[in-house]
Amino acid sequence: MNFNAQAGTDGRAHRSVSKKPKRVSDVNAIGSTIPYQQMTSQIPTNQYMTGDPNNLYGQPQYAPQQQPFPMDQQQQPNYYIPQPQQPLPNSGPRQPGQPPSMPGMGGGQFAMFQQPIVQDMAMQYGQKLADQGKEIVHSHIEKYLPMSKLKYYFSVDNSYVVNKLKIIFFPFLQKDWGMKYDHDNPVQPRYDINAPDMYIPSMSYITYVVLAGIALGMQNRFSSEQLGIQASSALAYSIFEIVIYTLTLYIGNISTSLSTLDLLALSGYKYAAIVVTVAGTILLKRMGYYLALFYSSAMLALFLLRTMKAKVLSGQDQTQSAVGYDPYGQQQQQHTDHNLGRKRKLYFLFLVTGLQPVLAFWLTVHLIVAETAVASA
């Protein structure tokens, strides 16, 4: 027999007038009990949809809180008003031609230039300018004064100087007068005693000026002007001598292996003889002057004659024709021209060797110390 709790005593089910409400645990399942709001212009919010359409992942948005303005004040627009800058110290009106002042240099003087990077850049730039200026000056000097060639004539040592002076004053003791060559180029003077140099002539010139001052002092004629005259006159005579030699070679059409610097070096050896001559007159007065002049001039002429002979008279003694029989006499004509050229070379050689004693006498004759001058001093 089935039991029905809602049945009556007669076994039939009774119709309940009021149904007992059912208890539901999920409130959202039955919907909201509040009626829908009226239509407004605002979009209803949803927990699954944000207000920003760009925020697709629903991050929380934080809106800035606005402070309410009082009703009695009206909001003013926020405009930027520049403030007047304070004038920098020592910033007056710029004068014409004055460079504009750099910003940030008023408080710390040249603070930017104290940075290590700026200093390194400035140093590198200055070094680059110095190198460029050096190259420009060197290129201009090299056109008129070949410094690279001058180094050759000053490449000497102590043993060369001593041996060279022995040859100048005792040339009869020297047997070999030939020069040494390395691949058609003459070796440096320190390796060849017969090579010309400019160290001995330059040092002899300075010594001559000093001894001339001593001789003038012994004659009671010393002054700075006289010493300058001695130095300048000796230099002028040397330049004039080189001009004469160069013109002679050009006009006489003389071909030699002597260069202008070779002539300057060889003609400068006369100052070594001049130094001996002036020293002789200082020590032995007039007799010492003539003895020293005669000996030093003769030895200098012999030295130059043997040294320049190989350079001036270089060449074949006779030009031979390739054909044995010459019906037109060309071989005889070449032989005649060769003899004339050799004579011109000999004349030039005698000119150089003979002019040295004359110049030595001319530059020292006024420096003779007399006995009376020494006694009065």
pLDDT in tens, 173-206: 988 888 888 877 888 999 999 999 999 999 999 9
The CA distance from 265 to 84, in Å, is 79
Q: Report the pLDDT value the prediction gives residue 110, as an integer from 0 to 100.
A: 63
As given in the structure block, the two tokens for residue 36 are 């829908």
Q: Letter for the amino acid at 271?
A: Y
pLDDT over 90 at 230, yes or no: yes
Give the separation between CA 283 and CA 63, rounded to whole angstroms: 116
DSSP state of 193: T
Residue (of 146, 194, 198, 204) closest to 306 by Cα position: 194
- Grade residue 313 by pLDDT with cuts at 50, 70 and 90: confident
- The SS3 call for residue 16 is coil
> Any idea what the Cα angle at residue 342 is, between residues 336 and 347, rounded to 5°?
130
Instruction: Judge whether residue 149 has pLDDT over 50.
Output: yes
Buried b (16+ CB within 10 A) or exposed e, 168-183: bbebeebeebebeeee
Q: Which residue has the tokens 């007056």?
A: 92
Model confidence at 123, pLDDT cuts 50, 70, 90, reads confident
Q: Please tell me the distance from the alpha carbon of residue 219 to that of residue 213, in angstroms, as a whole number.
A: 10
338: number of Cβ within 10 Å: 15
Q: Which residues face 7 on adjacent strands?
A: 13
Element (H, E) at 155: none
Mean pLDDT, the chain, integer: 75
| Gap between the Cα atoms of 282 and 289, Å rounded | 8
The neighbour count for residue 226, using CB atoms within 10 Å, is 14
CA–CA gap between residue 223 and residue 225 (Å, rounded): 5
Write down the residue that tokens 């460029």 correspond to.
132
Mean pLDDT, residues 114-128: 81
Give the pLDDT score at 288.
Answer: 93
